[in-house]
Amino acid sequence: MIKKIVQDALNTQMLREMYSSNLYLAMAAYYHSKNLNGFANWMRVQAQEEMDHALKFFDYVLERGGNVKIGQVDSVPETWDSPLAAFEAALRHEESVTQWINELADLVMKERDHATAILLQWFITEQVEEEATTGEIVERIKLAGESSSGLFMLDNELKARVFVPSAK
Mind listing the pLDDT tens digit of every residue in the chain (168 residues)?
899 999 999 999 999 999 999 999 999 999 999 999 999 999 999 999 999 999 999 999 999 999 999 999 999 999 999 999 999 999 999 999 999 999 999 999 999 999 999 999 999 999 999 999 999 999 999 999 988 999 999 999 999 999 999 876
3-state secondary structure of 165: coil
Q: Which candidate, 125, 110, 127, 30, places its Cα nearest to that of 78?
A: 30
Closest CA to 120 of 51, 30, 24, 53: 53
Residue type for position 135: G
Tell me if 46 sits within 8 A of 94, measured CB to CB: no
Domains of the chain: 4-158 (1.20.1260.10)
